[in-house]
């Protein structure tokens, strides 16, 4: 029999999801740029940024994730899939909390297996546009979640809807075939043949973002 959620169980999750600006992707190999983590903390003092609570962290990364905005997350008890790797867990968490994934440019290749659309531009992110498009990505994912809740919307239709949405909402930075890989739209196929997503992943470089953030 399915678990019947009580008010006391569901409200903390809803409050956390409502305040979640994004999910920062932490590389399990420990090659994370802690400067990037600190920069995201600086610009998210009043909104939460989640991270995978199951990934093994180095002592150095743990220290930087103690900043107030960061909160460890898990997909359970809402998503019961075992043997997910770190990329799949990140996509599952982003889909569950309806929040974009924030990653460094070192992770661009990691998400390609699940990418259905590449976001490209003529130049890399600056800090203003990066933060702006984290917020825009949240709106896109909310609208996509609403669209996907309709039983008559097929997977192909959803892909077309979100790619058109990206081109319209990202007009400040999007350039079809641009040389800079700014992000991806990902979907995760589950063992039950259903999909989680679409989830937007944005890739930022500390050096590019820091260039005009001072």
Give the whole-angstrom CA distance, residue 96 versus residue 114. Answer: 16
Give the whole-angstrom CA distance, residue 141 versus residue 91. Answer: 12
**Percent residues over pLDDT 90 in the chain:** 45
Q: What is the CA radius of gyration of the chain?
A: 17
**pLDDT tens readout for residues 148-158:** 665 555 667 77
| Cβ-proximal residues to 112 (8 Å cutoff; 6+ apart), any chain | 184
pTM: 0.90
| Cβ-proximal residues to 104 (8 Å cutoff; 6+ apart), any chain | 25, 32, 33, 36, 203, 204, 205, 206
The per-residue DSSP string of 96-134 comes to HHT--EEEEGGGGGGGGGGEEEEEEESSPPPHHHHHHHH
**pLDDT tens readout for residues 39-72:** 999 999 889 999 998 888 888 888 999 888 999 9
pLDDT at 38 over 90: yes
Give the whole-angstrom CA distance, residue 94 versus residue 114. Answer: 13
* Antiparallel, parallel or unpaired: β 180-189 and 195-204: antiparallel
Average the pLDDT over 14-38 and give the result.
Answer: 87
Kindly indicate the confidence band of residue 98, based on its pLDDT and cuts at 50, 70 and 90: very high
């Amino acid at each position: 029999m399915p678990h019947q959620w009580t008010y006391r169980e569901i409200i903390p999750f809803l409050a956390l999801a409502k305040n979640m600006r994004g999910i920062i992707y932490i590389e399990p190999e420990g090659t994370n740029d802690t400067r990037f983590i600190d920069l995201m903390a600086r610009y998210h003092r009043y909104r939460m940024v989640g991270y995978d609570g199951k990934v093994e962290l180095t002592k150095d990364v743990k220290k930087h994730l103690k900043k107030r905005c960061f909160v460890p997350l898990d997909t359970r008890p809402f998503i019961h899939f075992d043997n997910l790797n770190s990329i799949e867990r990140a996509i599952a968490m982003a889909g569950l909390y309806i929040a974009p994934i924030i990653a460094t440019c070192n992770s661009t290749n990691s998400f390609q297996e699940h990418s259905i659309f590449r976001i490209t531009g003529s130049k890399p992110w600056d800090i203003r546009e990066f933060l702006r498009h984290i917020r825009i990505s949240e709106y896109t994912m909310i609208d996509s979640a609403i669209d996907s809740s309709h039983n008559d919307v097929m997977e192909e239709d959803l892909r077309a809807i979100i790619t058109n949405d990206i081109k319209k909402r990202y007009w400040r930075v999007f350039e079809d075939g641009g040389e800079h890989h700014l992000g991806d739209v990902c979907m995760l196929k589950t063992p039950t043949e259903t999909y989680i997503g679409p989830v937007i992943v944005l890739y930022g470089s500390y050096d590019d973002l820091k260039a005009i953030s001072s």
